[in-house]
Structure 1
Amino acid sequence: MHDQSSRSGAFPAVKTCHWRGLKGPYLTLVLLCLLVSGCSRPTVLERIQQEQVLHVITRDAPAIYYQDQDGPGGVEYELAKRFADHLGVELRLQVADNLGEIFSILDQDYTHFAAAGLSVTESRRQRFRFSPPYMQARPLVIFRRGVDRPLEPADLEGLKLVVLANSSHEQRLVRLAKLHPGISWTARADIDSLGLLAAVNEGEFDAAVLDSNELAMNHVFFPDVLKGFPLAAKVDFAWAFPAGADDSLLNEARSFFRDIRQNGTLAQILERHYGHLDRLNYVGARTFVHHLRRRLPTYQALFLEAAETYDVDWRLLAAIGYQESHWRPNAVSPTGVRGLMMLTQNTAEYIGVSDRLDPRQSIMGGARYFKRVLGMIPENIKEPDRTWFALASYNVGFGHLEDARILAETDGKNPDRWLDVKEYLPLLAHKEWYSKTKHGYARGYEPVVYVQNIRRYFDVLAWMEPADPSAQMVAEEEEESLEQTLELPAGETDVADLDSSPVLPLMPAAL
């Protein structure tokens, strides 16, 4: 297990530490209470409130917990942090190196619970206790492009297969091997889900088993990894609690999950992390990374200048520019929208752009316009939804966005949540709905796709490029490695041939 505290100094409410010695304070409190006052042993929840710290063990993975230059993130982190806030205590994260370590710490009761992307299986139920599930996913067989696609368990015989050690997938393979003796695998404790994907993508292994949510989160970085077949039905994911602890904390967790499910918070967290992951297919991923390497350096300084001028993340501006024109300064649409940021004539006049085909004017103008649109979004709408609303407004217009928000509110949904409003924007293309609105018809499907695409492009840029290039943290060999993984298989169309095609919303990936 490793200590992440050195990377989280800017976030004092979230600390990470080694687990060793955590029981000492508990024992001291209990003994003092018994000796001085003769009181009964406090419950787990009472000890947490006395110490004012919630100890949670997790693991590094994009879908679970991570640290970047913007601070901690991940579905499990957000849920655990909200639970700690619900209890009114500090969250102290312990980051384990692998699943085996997590289970060992739970067995020894050295943490309050594990929030580590754990699926609920019968064998684990016999060992731990679980909170209500917060999401479901499907265990998938994935394989490398060029390998015959496995369609059923028998097809795994003879393949070089890899899984994470101590995972539920390894347990499933043990059962399958009894029916198909030709199935063999390597169980790795030294890598995480990203390492597993890389091992398949680079040809070290033919296939692997991975949860569908982790594939969706990371597939864009490993486009030579393809989906084979589901190894089982959907499984629940939940927090795991030590078997020997009392029910006080688990009951509080049950109440917490009931509340966030009922008030929509849980759905909003899951949408934030998974609601945009189906927008970048294999060709789109290769094309984007190719252009990131070849075209973006020409305009990166301009995006940085615009970002500094208008206080917007340059990677978001670059993602908008890519969605608009694939970073082509001379791009022109059939309707006369033109330039790298694809400004209309009216918009250009509104923001003072005289030459839409000039890259600097286009980028500075696009940033200026986005900042103005962002300023129109009601202040009570919090990030990141505020940015998603601004992007939709940038695409379809503020009036149509407001129409969709009113439709959502009239229908009993939350007009301040992108999760709800994005369901109503497409209705603006249907007369039965737009006839009820102030601004009338709009191609409401487009802003939904537009926002999802930009969110995905931003994901890749955030992974490959620092927010501040002067503090470069991405090694050149890492970028070179990613470029190599995205090279075209023999006989396929080169990305350069795609430049003559119109810029259209990407089709959903076939995950």
Structure 2
Amino acid sequence: MKFHWESLRSKHHKGSVALFIHHRQWLLTWRLYLLVSMLVTSACTVPPSDKSPTKDFAPTTPTVSDTLEPPRLLKVALIASAPDYFVYRGRPRGFVFDLSKILARRWQRRLQVEVARDEQEALQWLKTGRVEIAAIGTPLTDEASDGLIAGPAMEHSDSVLVSRNGQSPITIAALEGSTAADDLVGRCVPPCQQQIVPRPKSTWGFLKAFQEGRLKSQGILIPRRYAEAFIKMHPQLQIREGWGTSRPVSWWLHPRDQDLLVDLASFLKDIQKQQLYPVLRYRYYSQPQWMILRSRPFVRTDLGGVMTPWDPILKAAGRLQGFDWHLLGAIILRESGHNRHAVSSAGARGPVQLMPGTAKELGVDDPSDPAQAIPAAARYLRRLINRYSSATSYSDQRLMALAAYNVGPGHVDDARILARQLQLDPNKWWEGVALALPLLNKSAYGLKARHGPCQGRTAVGYAEDVEMLYDQYQQVLPQVLLERDGGTP
């Protein structure tokens, strides 16, 4: 039997060629699919073109989710003190601050912190409606609270006598309006001499005044929770004995906010059950080494005034571009945590996290060099601020610029157009752009936008984080740092 080798070889060759061509077609199709998928799911980290789209891209029939409202504010008054609220290496921290953040997140509210000088100022803000909660955590007399209501008890604390080591106090001081003052009046008998210190002075400020020798008394009477935290930072002081009965420690509310009282009780019950409260309590009140460290001015921005390792560069850049240099400090903290060698997953580098294309456009050879990167970031931010000059207020203008810094100006332009189509205000942040920008991550909107879909919710969160940092810097930094070096645009 003869085999037709040439015929078989020819058939085999033709089959191999056909299989090869089919394989190449399949491979090209798969590569094209991957390329389209990458373009559609792009995270939009490179600033897009400055051109604005003109074509409508909102769905013809808005869905229920398109009925948007800005998040409600939760305004909380608190007092600057090492355990409750302070700025550590540029970042706001503290027991009360962390609790307030968790509370706002649970209630789906946007936290706005108001820093009061003392308990009485916080209560006054509560009476006038400037804040909804006075998170002071200090037991007060009925006269001092003046008709306001104490929220659910978070814990209980008695008054204790604090003095210097080896000293027997004769004259004892207490703050006016505090329950410690009532305890002092009821128990101080000769040879004990009492001294009631008038406001304004916070409980923590009262402790500092005694520790620094600015009070004439040899001892002070204060709530135990503050005394135990303070002597861990200043071991030259001691707790001698407890005076008076244990009283509830609560946040304060206005009598008209009964619903808020119920919600706050539910929140405190949940965080106690989940062990969040004792964990935060231990972190800020009971760790001696951590408390000693955070009492040092060189790491406390609100004490020493140092925001970043490159403050002189920030000041010069802010002055040159005509805006408050503290805004640059807030951006650097949010972008890199003051790490000049930071590299993001998207490829952004340096303290201000410049993408390679943006760095090249701004003339930056080394994004990790603060002397190059920070002035370039200031120029870029000024360009973005000017871009949104039609915004209703400078705050709206600044927030749009911050979002554009994060996600690219083209996407913010798309969000403004979408806001107009959804009958929102494109010149306002909270009532317009902040509501429209997250929608660009949805295919119904993002695929029709000129610059495509993007992680709009991330950009909104970024802008709000930087704005909150900037707002708190202006409230708690030393007065010498609050002078605007370049003026307000």
TM-score interval, normalised by the smaller of the two chains: 0.3 to 0.5
- Scaled by the length of structure 2, what TM-score is found? 0.45
For normalisation by structure 1, the TM-score amounts to 0.43
Greater relative CO (CA pairs within 8 A, separation 6+):
2
Q: Which has the greater radius of gyration?
A: 2
